[in-house]
Chain A
């Protein structure tokens, strides 16, 4: 059992966007009944068949490391959090579609995770100005997920979708809209993908999530 390869994926985002609910939904195939604040980091594991059905099929353990806290935390919290960012294979950035600030903070989150070696206690000076150079050398794949789409009133949904197009452009990602495709009780929908070397076939049919 332990001989399977592991894939470590970080799940980052502001507090209250739905990271713990998302991880629980992905790994336990159930909706999280009573979400509470994540202190530190909570891990969950999903057994995944990569490229199933093909001769290259391989089973992996996907570890989802859900790190709690906010971007504006004290530097002592940030340096402690940096402990979890070792040898990461992928990053999932989660933002709340009803809260614009959480999308703006995603840039700072990605910097914190990727630049952990340069200045763990330093202050990120560029506050809101995006610099594409930062992401040029990094080979870590990013996935952007927007949650709580069903809580947006009907007339504002188009604005939200256009805003997300700009956001995925900023992260140099391809945009695939899966709106209207996934319906779950809590309304968490897979929204944008930025597939830069990540597994190319992920079926998120929530009716029978596990063992597809």
Chain B
């Protein structure tokens, strides 16, 4: 009976998450495009719902809600479904939509989509070879194989993203890096841009007029001598002149593009300078200094840990409690507080990582999508989101006290967790910076 009740609770929460994912998709991601293929929307919302369910199960684990057998069952179920989606469904649809965009392969879309999927599976499997994943106890198609590979990809992704964020964040925030841009610089550049455009226009006018005169002359001759007349009119002098002017026009157009991009850059810098003078700007400037020092210290610690092969055995919560009890002499009920503190800590990590990831996904989506490629990009983002969340579950194990780690260990089997934690130390501890990744400048223009 309780199992049935628990299942109902889980199911309603999953439907709720599905609705949130749907809303996010419609309101934020796709607000400038029209949804023509509902499959994309459904797949994205399903991935989002499954990821949120995983986090929800962790929270329930800490709180001790629901009975432990039903929790275990739902963990396994959720894990199987999410692996199914991440490894079979999403890559297949990515291949299908990529192939649909290419005109040549339109006819045999399904066939080519399957080919793409098999290539993906091959590389996915090969990914596991250099890493210490395979142990003789497990068969080929066991869940540990799949999870471990997904984990590797996800952890690498997290490390890359947070490394990028770590470098980009201080660069964007600190005013030390801002060049000095005055209004007259911008005006001068705009004047050059307009002059270039005028030169392009006058050359194109010459080309158009010359072609018109050629055509008129050619028509007169055509009426008399037909085929030979046309040959004569084409080989006359103006045509070679035309190709010369056309080359000049091409060069000028390239110049105008460069000038436009430079002007955009200068305008953006000017806005950043104005922003840095406001109170908010000063606050972020200070944060930038703080973050850069924090990042440098973390990188230093990570290097030392790897060189001396240390992996932290205790989680921050227990260590924090130990410190307060031993050094500060405050006595309190360890068991009671460790549950609550770990709940709060894990909750904060989950919420900030979901929020940060969604914001980053939205920014990347706006920067790089167009009306043709929007479907493919949304699916790629769904794949990244799924892998990121699965691996953050793996890594979160370290942040939880021992008694809560058991279920994660039980469900995921005997993975080489140490390996993952070492990877995590390389860059994953900087994932707080993920929240603050800014736009990439060149991509803003398109």
Contacts and interface: CB of A to CB of B under 8 A. Distances in A.
Closest 5 CB pairs of A and B: A40-B260, A76-B267, A76-B268, A45-B204, A16-B371
A124 interface: no
A43 interface: yes
Where chain B touches its partner, the secondary structure class is helix
B34 A68 contact: no
Interface in B421-446: 439, 444-446
Nearest to A120: B267
Interface in A77-117: 77, 79-80, 83-84, 86, 96, 98-101, 105
A21 to B, nearest CB: 14
Contact of B216 (A72, A75, A121, A211): A211
B205 A80 contact: no
Given A76-B268, A80-B264, 7 more contacts: A14-B371, A37-B446, A40-B445, A47-B205, A47-B208, A76-B444, A105-B32
A70 B268 CA distance: 17
Given A45-B201, A69-B446, A77-B445, A1 B206 contact: yes
A2 B256 contact: no
Contact-residue size bin, chain B (C-beta under 8 Å from the other chain) = 35 or more
B337 interface: no
Contact of A40 (B32, B256, B372): B256
Interface of B: 31-34, 190, 193-194, 197, 200-202, 204-209, 212, 215-216, 253, 256-257, 259-261, 263-265, 267-268, 270-271, 366, 370-372, 439, 444-446
Pick from A39, A46, A79, A121 the residue with the most CB of B within 10 Å.
A39
B268 A210 contact: no
A1 B205 contact: yes
A184 interface: no
Contacts of B263: 80, 83
A57 B159 CA distance: 69
B264 A75 contact: no
14 contacts: A1-B209, A15-B370, A16-B371, A16-B372, A44-B204, A45-B201, A47-B212, A73-B445, A76-B264, A76-B268, A76-B270, A76-B444, A79-B267, A210-B215
B212 A211 contact: yes
A44 B200 CA distance: 9
Given A15-B446, A37-B446, A210-B212, A100 B371 contact: no
Contacts of B265: 76
B205 A69 contact: no
Contact of A101 (B32, B197, B370): B32
B32 A70 contact: yes
Contacts of A98: 34
B446 A68 contact: yes
Nearest to B219: A211
B215 A72 contact: no
